Amino acid sequence: MNHLKNRQEVPEMEKWDLTDIYANQEAWEADYASVEKMAQELKSYDGNITDGATMYQFLSKQEEMVAIFNNVYVYAMLHVDLDTREQASQALLDKGRSLAVKLNEATSFFSPFLMSLEKYTLDQYMSEEPRLSYFKDDLYDTYRYKDHVLSKENEELLSQLGETFSAPRNTFGMINNADIKFGNVTDDDGNEVELTRGMYSKLIEDENREKRKEAYKSYYQPYVQMKNSIASTLSAAIKNNVTLSKVRHYPSALEKSLFANKIPKEVYENLIDTARKNLSTMHRYTQLRKDILGVDELRQYDLNVPLVSGVKEDISYEEAYATMLEALAPLGEDYVQTVKEMKGSRYIDVRETPGKRSGAYNLGLYGVHPFILLNHQDDLDSLFTLTHEMGHAMHSHYSNKHQPRITASYEIFVAEVASTVNEVLLIHHLLDEAKDQEYRKYLLNHFIDQFKGTFFTQVMFAEFEKKTHELAENGEPLNTETFNDIYEDLFKTYHGDALTIEEETKYGWSRIPHFYRPFYVYQYATGFAAAIHIANAILKGDKDTLNAYLSFLKSGSSDYPIELLKKTGVDLTTPEPIENALGVFEDLVQEFATL
């Protein structure tokens, strides 16, 4: 069992080098002050944009200010994530959040002003000032929001309430990352040690059922204890979202979330409907799991243990990186070489250390480079996580390199495609290399569980969000009991009758950070379906799809996400990509059952 290293024990090459953003805190403070000053200057444009030239001045200064602000904020955020207990870092981030509010206040007048212009006036500004063409798509796209932008006074008021609206999410973040203490578990030598998240992810896969049960009970214990506090923060987050949707005249909170990317509501509903129609394979797999484990009652702590024993292996970080490079070879030399260089450039923070933020992510900072956070555990899951986050990092790298700042960042809707294509390439590589039938079964089992987690679990979460937001929209109460009932019912529906529900199961909602980013998780499932289509075509040697995919990685947000994906041959407005992905799932379960 891994015991946490102190940060000092981790090799330098496995830690972020944040001096790539700022050499020291003095440089950070200087940029902080310059953003404050620029925000004041931008306020002076309120009421004074009268032609194309002044509009261009305002927009280019605003872009410059936001670029510097991003550096300021990200630097503080990354420091906090390395140790959420560190008060000095927390103070920097608090300053960053306050600065965000000032920045929004200074520029909140612009949207109502733009909406007040007739289209022919904007056309005239464009013809007067050729440099405005850089902002053209954004300016005309803003007109889509005409019905959802409030008066100048109300927009200012809403921007001042920014911190208030984000309070539930920030509160849950502190509870989940800094305050929660899991109970103790017994290590291999019979000693009691405090459970960590990284340890839990290993123990819940342990072949010893008692160990799994002990870890499961210990892990859920603080969430059950704090159920009412967490229900209060989640309820507030949902109600805030519903309130903002109403204030901005959207038909529903769901449609507000989908509006920016022009995602039709049908894409969300079609995802849930198609998944529900195909739950029989998922139920078959749950029954298969129960049969193979030979248990009278299949429990939630039995859902993650590999069904093939004796082949679980330790994979060091070095080995994991080398395997990933081999697996990504179908994406071409430039792709693989760039991934190789990231390892030696300290773009990746590798190890779990005390106080470090849990999980993994990639953050692509324009003009600097991607930053990848891991909590690497030297196992197969960690190899997949590394490969997943590298997909995001390469998406950031290519888009930042090939797009101007205004279109460099990609939308969340397409973000999961790049990460999942990498994972699909990895599993196929591992299956191709597997000489031993037991290891092949182990990998199939791993891919099925991966599919379950990235597709079915996320669709279940998406349905939970839809139901809870609809209750709030109808003025129904949201509390621990409501959340428990909905979550338990969905868990039963998705897993089938072979699973015996644990008392803790219904509290699953209380540990999900993504619920504080409304209607986010469904994109894991749509991205997964799209990625399976693209990766399978690339593996069959389809050069057109490969070229279209590499162009997609370089596209940032130069078009709406649905349109960008259509260029790779995936149309998510139809059930076809979802059904194709579920066909792959059925084949995997069939092969696994046969073996």
- Domain positions in the chain: 7-160, 183-225
Q: Is 193 helix (H, G, I), strand (E, B) or coil?
A: strand
Q: Both tokens of residue 218?
A: 């210990």
Classify domain 183-225 at the CATH class level: mainly alpha
Q: What is the pLDDT along the chain (595 residues), one digit of tens a residue?
A: 455 678 889 999 999 999 999 999 999 999 999 999 999 999 999 999 999 999 999 999 999 999 999 999 999 999 999 999 989 999 999 999 999 999 999 999 998 899 889 889 999 999 999 999 999 999 998 888 888 988 888 888 888 888 888 999 999 999 998 889 998 998 888 889 889 888 898 899 899 999 999 999 999 999 999 999 999 999 999 999 999 999 999 999 999 999 988 999 999 999 999 999 999 999 999 999 999 999 999 999 999 998 987 676 789 999 999 999 999 999 999 999 999 999 999 999 999 998 899 889 999 999 999 999 999 998 888 999 999 999 999 999 999 999 999 999 999 889 989 999 999 999 999 999 988 888 899 899 989 998 999 999 999 999 999 999 999 999 999 999 999 999 999 999 999 999 999 999 999 999 999 999 999 999 999 999 999 989 999 999 999 999 999 999 999 999 999 999 999 999 988 888 999 899 999 999 999 999 8
Instruction: Please write down the long-range contacts of 582-587, taking CB distance under 8 Å and 24 or more positions apart.
Output: 582/274, 582/275, 582/278, 582/281, 584/451, 584/532, 584/536, 585/278, 585/281, 585/282, 585/448, 585/451, 585/455, 586/278, 586/281
In terms of Cα–Cα distance, which of 453, 450, 487, 493 is closest to 471? Answer: 487
CA quadruple 339, 345, 348, 350: dihedral sign: positive
For residue 475, how far is the Cα from the chain centroid? 29
Tokens of 414: 């397409």
First-to-last CA distance in the chain? 31
Look up 389 and say whether it is catalytic.
Answer: yes
Q: Are strands 370-376 and 348-351 parallel, antiparallel or unpaired?
A: parallel
- Top CATH class of 7-160 equals mainly alpha
> Look-up: residue for tokens 């470090």?
356
Q: How far is CA 444 from CA 324, 332, 438, 447, in A?
A: 18, 26, 10, 5
Read out DSSP for 408-458? HSPPHHHHHHHHHHHHHHHHHHHHHH--SHHHHHHHHHHHHHHHIIIIIHH
Q: Residues 237, 516: contact at Cβ < 8 Å?
A: yes
> Hey, how many other C-beta atoms are within 10 angstroms of the C-beta on 256?
21
Residues with Cβ within 8 Å of residue 109, at least 6 apart in sequence: 45, 46, 47, 152, 155, 156
Q: Is residue 192 helix, strand or coil?
A: strand
Residue of 105, 156, 389, 463 marked catalytic:
389
Q: Given the structure tokens 């469904």, which residue do they identify? A: 522
